Every structure is written in structure tokens, then in C-alpha cells.
Amino acid sequence: MNISGNTIFIPGATSGIGLALALRLRDRGNTVIVGGRREDRLMTIATEHPGIRTMRIDTTDTDSIDEASRAVVAEHPELNVLITMAGVMRVEDWTTPSGFLATAEETVTTNILGPIRLIAAFIEHLRAQPDATIMTVSSGLAFAPLRVTPTYNASKAAIHMLSESLRLQLSGSSVSVLELEPPAVRTALMPGHEENEAAMPLDEFIEEVMSLIESQPEATEIQVERVKFLRYGEARGDYDQVVATVNRTDPHGR
């Protein structure tokens, strides 16, 4: 993915990693459209951050995705980058159905079906562009689980394998697939996580991500140094130690 000169749609980018990435991409000469469910939040972003476009979209609603995708393409026919940022993370207790079933279904709908539906809505348009990118967002927890968030872990593992598979299918086309793999980052993804000292400061994470995108335009995975501890535990042969460390030091992490 080139660092500049793109038209980028980022559903689920009204806060946290998504908004921070949107602002940095805007500053590097890209046209950026931020998507979200809350009209008031979108209006605030448009007011506070000149140059950022906005589009209402609910990635759990197929009709909303269809409507937003048509509007984005109509207003920005040069769109060539889709970043499937929307996601939720919930603590679950799988010892009883009341402790996990509702949140598990919500997580699967948002974290797995959302990206799938978004890609379905934009794939034909992106394939018609001379140079396009689909950026998926998994997590370090796709590779080493956090005990208290089973469905989140599973959803991000699914996104990782979806990215690998989609990359194979799109091989030889004009569309590249780039997977962003965050470690624990200080955002409001979970209550209290913004103050989690075990997590990476948001500004540091975004700075490293932008540097990696710029220096590795042909990359298939964006991995800041902190996530490699999780990403390569099995390859190094210390997976059990990685899992133990994650669950000891980061009880509410990504």
C-alpha cells in the first residue's frame, strides 16, 4: 500500500486506532472518509478535523452497508482503499450460556460478518481500480489467547485466515490485502484500557504503523515490534510462555 495519494474509506473509525490512523493518513495526502453509526460523533469529527469526510454506516446492518457503499462510491469514484476497522471486545464467561452467548453473537456479527459484508460491498469497485488495497484488522490475540475474551480471540484469528485466503484469491489482480495486527493499545476498546500501562500508547503505535506502511509498501502484514511476541510464539517454540505472560500481565488487553 502506498502511503499517500489514496482515497480511503475506514468504517468504524470514530475513535481509537481507527480515528488516529485516519488523521495520520489524511496528513500524508490521502482523501479519507470515516464511517460510523453515530451522527453526532461524525459531525464532531468533521468539525474538529478539517479535510476528513464522514459517512454514516452500521457494519452490523446489511442494508446500512449497502447504502453507505453506494454513497461512498458515488461521491468518491476514485476510492481505492478499504480499511475494515470496526470491532468490539467483550469479557465473557463460557461456563454458562448467560455469560457469553449474547456477547459472542454480537462479536461475530461485528468482527467477522462486518468485514465480510464490507468486502462484498466494495470488491467489484476495488478490482476495477488500477491499484487498490483491502486492509483488515486482526490482533495479537489472533495468535495467543486472552482467557477472558474467547470470542474476540476467535474472531481475530478468523480475520487473519480470511486475509490469508483472500490474498490468495486476489493474487495477480490489482487488489492487495494488508493485515494490520495490533498488540494491546491504549484505547477505549474495553473499560479502563486507556490507562492500561501494559498496553502500547496509541500515538506510539500509530507512528510505528505509518513508518512501516511507508517503508514496506509491498508488505502483507503490518506488525509493530510489540506484537511479534504474540505473533511468533508458536514459531519460536515458547507459545505456552507467551500465553501465560499475556494472561498474567494484561487481563484486559487486546
Q: Which of 152, 179, 223, 242 is catalytic?
A: 152
From CA 35, how far away is CA 82, in angstroms rounded?
Answer: 11
pLDDT at 253: 39
pLDDT at 126 over 50: yes
pLDDT at 250: 53
What angle, rounded to 10 degrees, do the helices at 114-127 and 62-75 form?
30
pLDDT at 220: 98
Average pLDDT over residues 139-159: 97
pLDDT at 194: 85
175-211 pLDDT per residue, tens: 999 999 999 999 988 888 788 888 999 999 999 999 9
Q: Enumerate the H helices of 89-222 as residue ranges.
A: 101-108, 114-127, 150-169, 202-215
- Percent of the residues in the chain that have a pLDDT greater than 90, as a whole number: 93
pLDDT band at 93 (very low <50, low <70, confident <90, very high): very high
pLDDT at 251 over 60: no
pLDDT at 249: 63
pLDDT band at 74 (very low <50, low <70, confident <90, very high): very high
pLDDT band at 254 (very low <50, low <70, confident <90, very high): very low
From the number of C-beta atoms within 10 Å of its C-beta (0-12, 13-18, 19+), residue 215 rates as exposed
pLDDT at 195: 81
- Please indicate whether residue 239 is annotated as part of the active site: no
Structural fold of domain 7-249? Rossmann fold (3.40.50)
The mean of the pLDDT values for the chain is: 95
31-51 pLDDT per residue, tens: 999 999 999 999 999 999 999
Q: How far lies 219's CA from each of 61, 105, 155, 222, in Å?
A: 31, 32, 23, 7
pLDDT at 115 over 80: yes
Strand 221-222 relative to strand 175-180, pairing? parallel
126-141 b/e with 16+ CB inside 10 Å = b?
Answer: beebeebbbbbbbbbb
pLDDT at 168 over 70: yes
pLDDT at 25 over 50: yes
